[in-house]
Amino acid sequence: MVSVTAVDAAAPAELGRRLAELGFLPGEAVRIVARGMMARAPIAVRIGTGTFALRLFEAACIRVCPEQPQPA
């Protein structure tokens, strides 16, 4: 399930900034670690070496694409 974040969409400015501060930046690897049972429950996302719980609308601000082989 490994992917790479591309860019934040037209997210609310503060939200986009906080996501960037937590490390959701272009080119970083992300992976969903856990999901809740109920609909619209938050998800746990691994970014780099950290894990964050995000509500779905927060996660929706993150654009991802399949991981490309990193240029050396």
Footprint of other proteins on residues 52-71 (CB under 8 A)? Answer: 52-55, 57-58
Full DSSP string of 19-42: HHHHT--TT-EEEEEEE-SSTT--
Round to the nearest angstrom and report the end-to-end CA distance of the chain. 22
- Please report how close the Cβ of residue 72 comes to other proteins at its closest, in angstroms: 10
Q: Does 50 bind other proteins (CB under 8 A)?
A: yes
Say if residues 58 and 15 touch (Cβ distance below 8 Å).
yes
Residue ranges in contact with other proteins by CB under 8 A: 12, 14-15, 17-23, 25-27, 29, 33-38, 40-42, 44, 47-55, 57-58
